[in-house]
Amino acid sequence: MASLVVDPSTPSAAGRVLDSPWLSFTLRRGARFLVSMWVLVTAAFLMMHLVPGDPVRAALGIDAPADLVASRREALGLNDPLLTQYVDYLRNLLSGDLGISMGSGEPVGTMVVERLGSTVQLALLAFVVAGAIAVPLGVAMAVATRAGRRRGVELVFATSSMLAAAIPEFLLAVGLVYVFAVNLAWFPVAGAATLSSFVLPVLALAVGPTAILARIARVEMLAVLQDDYIRTARAKRLPARRIYLRHALPNALTATLTLGGLMLTTMVAGTVLVENIFAWPGLGSRIVQSITAKDYPVVQAIILIYGGLVLLVNLLVDITLALLDPRSTIREA
Amino acid sequence: MRTRWLAVVRTPLGAAALLLMVSMVTLAVLAPVIWGDRAVQVDTDAIHHGPSAAHLLGTDGLGRDILARVLVATRTSLGLATLAVAIAVGLGTLIGTAPSVLPRRLGRLITGAVNIAVAFPALLLALFFAVVFGVGTQGAVLGIGLAGAPSFARLTQTLSASVDGLDFVAAARVAGVSRFRILRRHLLPNIAEPLVVNATVGAGAALLAFAGLSFLGIGVQAPSYDWGRLLGEGVNRIYSNPAGALGPAVAVMFAGLAFNLLGETTAAVVGGRARTRPASAPGFAAAAVEEATGGGHTDGSAALENDVILHTDDLHVSFPAAKEWVTPVRGVSLTIRAGEAVGIVGESGSGKSLTALAASRLIEEPGVINAARLDFCGIPLLTTPERETRRLLGRSLAMVFQDPMKSFNPTMRVGRQLAETAVEHQDLDRRSALARAIDRLHAVRVPAPARRARQYPHEFSGGMLQRAMIGMGLMNTPRLIVADEPTTALDVTVQRQVLRLLADVRAETDAAILLISHDIAVISQMCDRVLVMYAGRIVEDLPVAELRTARHPYTRALLDVVPGLDADRTSPLGVIPGRPPEPSQFPTGCAFADRCRFATAACREEDPLLRPSDSQVDGDHRVACWHPVDGDRLLAQQSFVPIEAMKAGEIGG
């Protein structure tokens, strides 16, 4: 009989998952992601129609014969009522069809997908490099300069990180090209052929975010070190390592991660400039070519991908944050 | 405000910011006038030349001087950036304040839209809008302006939401002031300063974004040119003429830096930051340490009985303040024996918590502890290396802090937080440490301890967390439990549970207790002995049973303000008139003199020492006062609560 009695202190595994604030938080965040995605898709759809003048005429040039423009308009469905076009656009998107290029007539999907990989590679690598340097650096700086210690170190760190953060990635890229590719010829100036061709673009993308992230990590860590529970940990006479790494760091990371996610999204945008300087075969160099050539379906698709990446990063950051700091699931509700 | 500006401009950073900005603006005004012709002068004999005396940065594809073009482009680059940021701030403020004026539902829609837009990096938004408005200067200005608007809208929203909560805005609203008027008169003026700071930084960002778009060929179109466009042209020929790329790059960098520094400077002025600190440790420190390490120390500890758990002699705690060191604890001497419960009572700022933290070696730099002696279980804490005292303190000294909600790590499960001290100091493995943690939670009457151990602190109530905190102390075998205002943050019904638990723990484990409280009633229930602190000193030390005959006027005042059950509820609660002095302004002589009705001129000249009360025979009642009160004489006219009644009424229930 006793085995039939359910002990209220140990709920079944399924019950625990369903009750978990983390799950409902994740569901809410998922819903928000979908709404944002819908806004993004709608904006991308409207872009083609907000462009001044006839987009097809603009893409093909003023010399293009009228019947070619008319047939291209027909092929793109631009003569249908706006709502019909919108529904078609959504339906095509769901089946993975991103339309066809106005210039070459190729399907945009295949054109874009092969370039997505190199852009994501670049951004992720830069992000990993930035995080791997910035977080330990910021934490070490916080520990070294806490409560007004080592003013000199603090001054050097504050000044150099401010300067590094102020240099935009494309200027840094130009400087890197000048020093390491033109003068020293250590690294290739363009393309993504070899491993060494990653060095300069990744550096150009990572330096600024590293500086910003390290500053944030330091400030967050300093704030956490002031918290009462750190005093509790000290009262337990834990070794300094454990106090800093196990007690302080996870609490400092939550805010750092939020802003780190923001960094990753700006890095995604930063690839546009960096790719164009290093002739990187990614989405960034393609979107600029397409904007100049007024190939709007391609621009539309790439904007959509960039936007989707940004929203996805934000979603992942929020979910990770909820795992790290269980309180954030409540704060939101 | 003006003096603050002057002060900031005198700092190296502020001066540099101002200098850079002034020279940028001067260049923007004058350069087109001076070099305007030279910048457009085509020279077919000097196409794509490298740097020379005539052309310091070389020439471009039409033989035009690149340096002149970079200088002249200052006006376009700064002008377009300013225009774009003006659009961003204007539109952002409009969108940001709209929700406080518009109908609620529409306002929420706008807020939602801003929340979505702000997630996208500005450069992506700028690209999108630049395409929509058409490639070119106009499209880029609108694009960057619109791209910056969401973040300014968010900023305005956040700022106005915080201003909205202020009393005067609420008052204006209650008074029926219209929403537009509140917006114009109250919200906008109050958010203007941070908005200006962010607009300055935003102008820098707009400048860089513009340079980026033009560099990509999406911004300014030929024959117009700005730095971005010049940079793009230069980068194409970076191998043959690097100077042609570096020139505009340096220009963009200086301009960006100028705006950034100006933003920092403005923020410093608005925020009014300033930092100074004293040069060296307090003067008495060296002497005190010398005394501690030099003589008397080893001989002294031999003389102590071995049931003494904590002994401090002439304990000082100092902190660096603006110009000099302040010493909120000055010369505390106390002794706590095994199983004894000692209370320290005093108003906030009397130094009682700092005394407890110092005795537990928890004062962190830049704070400094000095004492003739600070011994715990016979070990001199100030002279023994920390790694040698760590295990002793970890095992034998337990702390209970004021606010249990803040004293637990929010990102760790409660069970783990208890267990780790056993892992550290008893070399238990994690599994058996956790089992002990659950056992300890059970011991401090946390229901369903196995389940609770898996939970996070925010899933606990305050009282339960405080019990868990006591349980944390019981993971090892504490000889002393320091409880610093353990019930202040809890509600009254829970307070009693926690106090009773502490009393039970003491009875069961024979641990001594040092209880810090501002509430003399709590102390008289819990403790054998009371130390009354005022302005960083012990002014009276007496057995709880003798509180009735307390002799220091301050102790008597503390007793007088405790309302009893039979207190007249129509008369106002008793207060001690005046305020305790700040640690930086401790007077010479008795610190209580200004609030004491027995004070004479002598009190203000020399500080009374803590001496055995002369009415006492056995000498366990000490008082620091020139005019100690005769307890029995005063009893008749004072209305303080009989201690026995308090004891019976509170802890028994």
CB contact under 8 A, A170 and B472: no
Nearest CA in chain A to B123: A269
CB contact under 8 A, A171 and B252: yes
**Chain B environment of A47 (Cβ under 8 Å):** 128, 131-132
Distance in Å, alpha carbon of A91 to nearest chain B alpha carbon: 23
Nearest CA in chain A to B214: A273
Tell how strand B480-484 and strand B512-517 pair up.
parallel
Q: Name the nearest CA neighbour of B125 among B140, B144, B152.
A: B144
Does B136 touch chain A if contact means CB atoms closer than 8 Å? no
Q: Residues B623-648: what's their mean pLDDT?
A: 57
8 A C-beta contact, residue B202 and residue B88: yes
Q: Residues B375-379: what's their mean pLDDT?
A: 90
CA gap A280, A274 in Å, rounded: 8
**Chain A environment of B319 (Cβ under 8 Å):** none
**Chain A environment of B122 (Cβ under 8 Å):** 269
CA gap A221, A236 in Å, rounded: 20
pLDDT tens digits along B313-360: 999 999 888 778 889 999 899 999 999 999 999 888 889 999 999 998
Written as one letter, the residue type at A281 is P
Phi, psi of A188 (to 5 degrees): -65, 150
User: What is the CA angle B345-B351-B352, rounded to 5?
Assistant: 35
Q: Residues B223-251: what's their mean pLDDT?
A: 84
Give the torsion through C-alpha atoms of B130, B133, B137, B141, to 10 deg.
-70
Which one of A160-174, B40-54, B285-299, B429-443 scores highest in mean pLDDT? B429-443
What is the reported pLDDT for B273? 44
Question: Which residue from B253, B360, B401 is facing A167, i.e. has the nearest CB?
Answer: B253
Distance in Å, alpha carbon of B645 to nearest chain A alpha carbon: 36
CB proximity list for B222: less than 8 A, separation 6 or greater: B229
Written as one letter, the residue type at B444 is V
Distance in Å, alpha carbon of A54 to nearest chain B alpha carbon: 12
Does B253 touch chain A if contact means CB atoms closer than 8 Å? yes
CB contact under 8 A, A148 and B424: no
CA gap B66, B58 in Å, rounded: 6
What is the reported pLDDT for A7? 43
What is the reported pLDDT for B316? 92
Nearest CA in chain B to A301: B128
pLDDT tens digits along B41-51: 777 777 777 77
**Chain A environment of B469 (Cβ under 8 Å):** 232
CA gap A225, A245 in Å, rounded: 11
**Chain B environment of A236 (Cβ under 8 Å):** 394, 420-421, 424, 472
Higher pLDDT pick, B279 / B299: B279
User: Distances from the Cα of B256 to the Cαs of A127, A167, A176, B259, B260, in angstroms?
Assistant: 24, 8, 18, 5, 6
Give the torsion through C-alpha atoms of B364, B365, B366, B370, to 10 deg.
80
Question: Which residue from B121, B218, B364 is facing A288, i.e. has the nearest CB?
Answer: B218
What is the reported pLDDT for B638? 44
Respond yes or no on whether the N-terminal peptide bond of residue A201 is cis (omega within 30° of 0).
no
CB proximity list for B146: less than 8 A, separation 6 or greater: B87, B88, B91, B125, B126, B129
In B, residues 341-360, which contact A (CB 8 Å cutoff)?
Answer: 360
Question: Which residue from A235, A251, A314 is facing B360, i.e. has the nearest CB?
Answer: A235
b/e burial code for range B264-274 (CB count within 10 A of at least 16 → b): bbbbbbbeeee
Indicate if the pLDDT at residue B295 is higher than 60: no
CA gap B528, B510 in Å, rounded: 14
Mutation target to probe the B interface, by most B beta carbons within 10 A, among A236, A271, A324 is A236
Nearest CA in chain B to A313: B119
Q: Name the nearest CA neighbour of B191 among B217, B222, B154.
A: B154
**Chain B environment of A238 (Cβ under 8 Å):** 394, 420-421, 424
**Chain A environment of B116 (Cβ under 8 Å):** 35-36, 39
**Helix residue ranges, H only, B474-585:** 492-509, 520-526, 553-560
**Chain B environment of A239 (Cβ under 8 Å):** 390, 424
Question: Which residue from A43, A148, A276 is facing B366, i.e. has the nearest CB?
Answer: A148
What is the reported pLDDT for B439? 93
Which one of A56-65, B8-17, B507-516, B592-601 scores highest in mean pLDDT? B507-516
Least-confidence region, from B92-96, B307-311, B609-613: B609-613
What is the reported pLDDT for B134? 82
Distance in Å, alpha carbon of B216 to nearest chain A alpha carbon: 7
The rounded percent of chain A whose pLDDT value lies above 90 is 12
What is the reported pLDDT for B159? 79
Does B239 touch chain A if contact means CB atoms closer than 8 Å? yes
Indicate if the pLDDT at residue A88 is higher than 60: yes
Indicate if the pLDDT at residue B166 is higher than 80: no
Written as one letter, the residue type at B163 is V
What is the reported pLDDT for B3? 66
pLDDT tens digits along A236-282: 999 989 999 999 998 888 778 777 887 888 888 888 888 888 888 88
Across chain B, mean pLDDT equals 81
pLDDT tens digits along B122-147: 888 888 888 888 888 888 899 899 88
**Chain B environment of A155 (Cβ under 8 Å):** none
CB contact under 8 A, B124 and A307: yes
What is the reported pLDDT for B111? 85
Query: What's the token pair of residue B436?
Result: 């002990």
Does B406 touch chain A if contact means CB atoms closer than 8 Å? yes
Distance in Å, alpha carbon of A108 to nearest chain B alpha carbon: 18
Nearest CA in chain A to B319: A147
A-to-B residue pairs, Cβ atoms closer than 8 angstroms: 185
Written as one letter, the residue type at B617 is V
ipTM of the predicted assembly exceeds 0.85: no
CA gap A62, A50 in Å, rounded: 19
Phi, psi of B539 (to 5 degrees): -100, -20
Give the torsion through C-alpha atoms of A330, A331, A332, A333, to 10 deg.
50
Q: Which string of DSSP letters, residue by residue, matches B229-284?
A: HHHHHHHHTTTT-HHHHHHHHHHHHHHHHHHHHHHHHHHHHHHT------SS--HH
Least-confidence region, from B248-262, B431-445, B465-479, B616-630: B616-630
**Chain B environment of A246 (Cβ under 8 Å):** 412, 420
Higher pLDDT pick, B67 / A225: A225
- Kind and range of the H or E run holding A47: helix A21-50
Indicate if the pLDDT at residue B608 is higher than 90: no
Residue B435: Cβ within 10 Å count: 16
Q: Residues B20-31: what's their mean pLDDT?
A: 87
Domains observed in chain A: 116-294 (1.10.3720.10)
Q: Is A224 helix (H, G, I), strand (E, B) or coil?
A: helix
Question: Which residue from B235, B399, B403 is facing A174, i.e. has the nearest CB?
Answer: B235
Across chain A, mean pLDDT equals 82
Nearest CA in chain A to B469: A232
8 A C-beta contact, residue B156 and residue B96: yes
Question: Which residue from A51, A178, A310 is facing B246, i.e. has the nearest CB?
Answer: A178
What burial class does residue B250 get, using C-beta atoms within 10 Å of its C-beta: 0-12 exposed, 13-18 middle, 19+ buried? middle
Residue A259: Cβ within 10 Å count: 17
CB contact under 8 A, A168 and B135: no
What is the reported pLDDT for B566? 65
pLDDT tens digits along B466-505: 999 999 999 988 999 999 999 888 888 888 888 999 999 9
Tell if the pTM clears 0.80, that is, is over it.
Answer: no
Residue listed under structure tokens 């983390």: A22
What is the reported pLDDT for B442? 93
What is the reported pLDDT for B451? 94
Question: Which residue from A166, A174, A234 is facing B249, i.e. has the nearest CB?
Answer: A174
Question: Which residue from B113, B252, B451 is facing A10, i.e. has the nearest CB?
Answer: B451
Mutation target to probe the B interface, by most B beta carbons within 10 A, among A232, A286, A327 is A232
Residue listed under structure tokens 């002149």: B68
What is the reported pLDDT for A11? 44
